[in-house]
Structure 1
Amino acid sequence: MTTTLDQAKASARALRTSLATLDVSVTHSQALEVVAQQLGYRDWNTAHAALTPSTVGLGGAIPVIRVQDEQLAREFYLNYLGFTPEWEHRFEPGFPLYVRARRDDTVIDLSEHHGDGVPGSVTWIPVLDIDALLADLRSRPHPKLRPDIDPSFPGGPTIVVPDPFGNTLRLCQPLE
């Protein structure tokens, strides 16, 4: 459970009250410093910054992956990797396709638009269970891929999967 700023301040007040019953007097500022350290922060200013909710509300980044052939993209990302389209867009029939696709918590955009994404890009995707993912990928064999787990990647064991367009997906189970 995450501690909120209000909870941290209440802990500092409770600490002062508890210490006062033992005839130990600390300032509110000293109590805040102690609470910050108990929460694992260097000092109260650091704790305050970390516990203050963002008013910006940034969400997770969504990579735009450049694809050049709709059929190949569908076969690879949807059929092989198991992503599901959330929505698709074309300005008119025959124009480039733009697809938002999801698998579990991972969201990617696939774009045929020139200038969207850069061919040859790498997308790093965290995975909860790398062994289960490998078994899932092997259950739908790809004619040109034989993925395996590389345990030597920094950050954790990784499955490196090149797409048909020169992009690379690094599916990694992060180290704890």
Structure 2
Amino acid sequence: MDEEVIPILRVKDAAVAVAWYGRLGFVRRWEHRFEPGFPAFVEVARGGVRLFLSEHEGDARPNTLVYLRVRDVDAVADEFGVRVEDAPWAREIELVDPDGNRLRVGTPAE
């Protein structure tokens, strides 16, 4: 097993969050609920990158910032209709999901 870190993001509605993260290329891998109607805990993945999206109130704080390094930030920027900023270390955009979690998305400078 490879060691890794998986950010947990607080979401109000997992289905809405999964659809939004789908626009970033993430796909839903699994979902868990202790019982029907209980809060959802969902894993989404984009290649080897994984996120946990949790409707459980105590799991994570809203307004978290996650950095996502991608091969083509311009394609992501086009999908969301935002402008790419050039920094010395990367070309970047910042997005905010439906729950207020921030994602800084960047392609490293060459």
**CA–CA separation in structure 1 for the residues paired with 2:12 and 2:89:** 31
* Structure 2 CA distance for aligned equivalents of residues 132 and 74 of structure 1: 19
Change (3 A) 1:121 1:151: same
Distance 2:86 2:6 in 1: 26
| TM-superposition CA deviations, 1:14-46 (whole Å, max 9, x none) | xxxxxxxxxxxxxxxxxxxxxxxxxxxxxxxxx
Distance 1:125 1:88 in 2: 22
Please report the TM-score for the alignment, with normalisation by the length of structure 1.
0.56
Find the partner of 1:170 among 89, 92, 104. Answer: 104
Q: Percent identity?
A: 39
**Structure 2 residue 14 is matched with structure 1 residue 74:** no
Tell me the TM-score normalized by structure 2: 0.86
Q: Comparing both chains, which one has the higher relative contact order based on Cα–Cα distances under 8 Å and sequence gaps of 6 or more?
A: 2
Asked if 1:62 corresponds to 2:6, the answer is: yes
Q: How many angstroms apart in 2 are the aligned matches of 1:101 and 1:71?
A: 11
Offset at 1:124? 0.3
RMSD: 1.9
The letter of the residue matching 1:77 is Y
Q: 1:71 Cα deviation (Å)? A: 3.3
Matches within 5 A, 1:98-117: 98-117=41-60
Decide which structure has greater strand share: 2
Q: Structure 1 regions of 5+ residues with no counterpart?
A: 1-56, 139-145
- Map of 1:123 onto structure 2: 66
Give ranges in structure 2 of 5+ residues lacking alignment: none
The structural deviation recorded for 1:104 is 2.1
Task: Could you list the structure 1 runs, at least 4 aligned residues long, displaced by more than 6 angstroms after superposition.
Answer: none
Q: 2: distance between equivalents of 1:61 and 1:148? A: 29
Task: Give, in angstroms, the shift of residue 58 of structure 1.
Answer: 5.7
Structure 2 distance, partners of 1:155, 1:59, is: 26
SS in 2 for 1:173: strand
